[in-house]
Structure 1
């Protein structure tokens, strides 16, 4: 009999900004070497493909899917994508991630082609990377440009002569076309100018100015002293998601996650273009090319789920994935219309198929459910998230 449920073995990324304790605290994942554990990937991206347990052995999830795309993914996803179209991550940030943007599909294809269709300095694959982040603990992030006038007002408070010319130009053209060169001028300040502007920011904070931004600025000063990205809260929206809150980020949205733990689901891509708050490669030319410099409103950032009994489904505005959170339930029938990954966030869960196969999972454990399963019964004590096409 063909196996129905596949327990996943997932890659953990030891990026420097990661937490040394969050995975252990939430999911009892050991950390014997006391390394930062920044992300746990669930999916088939070649930079961190999961393995599936098949009896007493394990094999690549990508290999399993490739053997029978239609049975594993369903005809729609197999025809449309030819691979698992999404990537699920657990993310735990003790310090800020880079100021970054993800390309849209056309930009990713063009950039990856320029690299000879090989991972390189700018592009790791040919896909876009829209994403949703769902907070498990209070989660601090910066997301999207503030209204143009608000950006101007913040920088006027610094009274920095190094920015006078750029600010004058922005004030005369408060549009996306005006914001782009202003942003570029900030990122390209020479070391002496950067030091002076950051000193004026510190003086402004010390004198009681920009107090509403201090929780973010102080963290960035601690994590990346001297980095021009410390100015990001002046031009990006600062938001703290409470546990259970979510937000969606389109490709082209400049953003940075600052601290906290969350689940992140995205199209199957690892394309990241960086501008600051990082020791990694910065490619301003590509980042500016891929960034949408349109102002946004803070009220539009958080997503509201549509609720059906114990299921909270988030209205994802792209085709690559769907995301739901299932609260405590005794028994629930889960239809399978495409491949799924289920991650237990709290407590435990048991999956039961009509053929008699069962799979029990505890917090932090996950499973791949192929299209061929058609449906199953979920019994849980806690909370799960479910990703599908």
Structure 2
């Protein structure tokens, strides 16, 4: 018999998180501080805890240990008030090699300089819960970045300071990115001039100005200008495979990813930055915005299926969004997160009612019958 077990967790209080962000999204009691991410999975850094029910485990890490099963995903609710770090994630092979290397070096898992927290890949998708979710994702075409640099130079009192960056970008994305992360004095000068120009023309260069105020002097301010800047409506999604450089800027979203916390950062953060390691995993190929279009499954169900666009990558999860009465099949143990409305869930003889802010864990795959109305996200393996 499949059990439906309520889950909870404590929001992660990263500085970029919106004040009471998770609480406001789910109708929970506010903490009064930043609430950046709610982790719903078995990752040992923050496993979701059992909030009731009868089970021989206290959290999902314990469930994995007790059953020998493994969740093929990590579900998160993210609430950003300010920009996250510029980052990318490794492939499975890169993660395994990096984890083994740092284990052999004796670097503690909790050490600031630790890059690889586990041996797993971390491809991810994010779905906007509300309109206005902003993100940077992937390198845009070189000519677009060159045009932006020219605009900054034309508006600047010291256009020559931007010439080195322009020349590097014109040679290619890899060259432009490497120039910005080189640590050369010319980079600091370019960042200062671009930031000062944006301060004088904040509407024209809004993103430069916003990032410069949040992270003054950071070369990531200019790296961000080489990336696609997108704003999502509620229900729109992005797919961020291994090697895709990205940063979430603000808004609330539901993330589904591989069961990993391997993040290689390149700027816009007080956390550890390892630019050489980031460069080693980065895909510098310019391309279109990596949107993930939902697939209609039934009248009240859409599926966000990264395997449909993952170019053969091993992506063993998908995210369902249920808005009304439906029956869906889950391919693994599943986690259901209610962000709006009320529902009743039934599977293999177990039944549970949920409202906004409730989280349920179905501990085995099966036919999940849902009645009600609102927005219910269900994470499942394939």
TM-score past 0.5 threshold: yes
SS of equivalent to 1:303: coil
Matched with 1:343 is: 337
Structure 1 pair 167–26 and aligned structure 2 pair: CA distance change class (3 A): closer
SS of equivalent to 1:116: helix
Matched with 1:255 is: 246
Partners of 2:379 and 2:2 in 1: CA distance: 20
Q: Does 1:296 align with 2:273?
A: no
Partners of 1:104 and 1:354 in 2: CA distance: 36
CA-to-aligned-CA distance 1:57-87 (integer Å, 9 cap, x gap): 9612122233234xxx5xxxxxxxxx21100
Instruction: Identify the match of residue 379 of structure 2 among 350, 371, 387.
Output: 387
CA-atom RMSD, angstroms? Answer: 2.3
Alignment of 1:183-202 (within 5 A): 183-190=177-184, 193-202=186-195
Asked if 2 retains the 8 angstrom alpha-carbon contact of 1:154 and 1:210, the reply is: no
Matched with 1:84 is: 71
Partners of 1:284 and 1:41 in 2: CA distance: 26
Shift of 1:346: 0.5
Matched with 1:77 is: none
Shift of 1:29: 1.7
Shift of 1:56: 9.1
Q: Does 1:283 align with 2:282?
A: no
Between 343-352 and 35-44, the greater mean CA deviation after superposition: 343-352
Matched with 1:221 is: 212
Matched with 2:39 is: 41
CA-to-aligned-CA distance 1:30-76 (integer Å, 9 cap, x gap): 234x210000000000111112233399612122233234xxx5xxx
Matched with 2:133 is: 139
Structure 2 unaligned blocks of 5 or more:
154-158, 308-313
Shift of 1:165: 4.2
SS of equivalent to 1:302: coil
Structure 1 pair 166–19 and aligned structure 2 pair: CA distance change class (3 A): closer
**TM-score relative to the length of structure 2:** 0.87
Shift of 1:26: 2.3
Asked if 1 retains the 8 angstrom alpha-carbon contact of 2:42 and 2:64, the reply is: no
Matched with 2:9 is: 10
Alignment of 1:286-365 (within 5 A): 286-298=277-289, 301-307=290-296, 308-317=298-307, 318-327=314-323, 329=324, 331-355=325-349, 357-365=350-358
Asked if 1 retains the 8 angstrom alpha-carbon contact of 2:75 and 2:254, the reply is: yes
Instruction: Identify the match of residue 99 of structure 1 among 86, 100, 105.
Output: 86
Matched with 2:143 is: 149
Matched with 2:237 is: 246
Partners of 1:335 and 1:252 in 2: CA distance: 31
Partners of 1:234 and 1:186 in 2: CA distance: 11
Alignment of 1:43-122 (within 5 A): 43-52=41-50, 53-55=52-54, 59-69=58-68, 83-116=70-103, 119=109, 121-122=114-115
Instruction: Identify the match of residue 175 of structure 2 among 157, 181, 195.
Output: 181
CA-to-aligned-CA distance 1:108-149 (integer Å, 9 cap, x gap): 111111012663511111111110000012111100001022
Structure 1 pair 218–57 and aligned structure 2 pair: CA distance change class (3 A): farther
**TM-score relative to the length of structure 1:** 0.86
SS of equivalent to 2:19: coil
Equivalenced residues, count: 361
Between 118-127 and 251-260, the greater mean CA deviation after superposition: 118-127
Shift of 1:152: 2.3
Asked if 1 retains the 8 angstrom alpha-carbon contact of 2:335 and 2:360, the reply is: yes
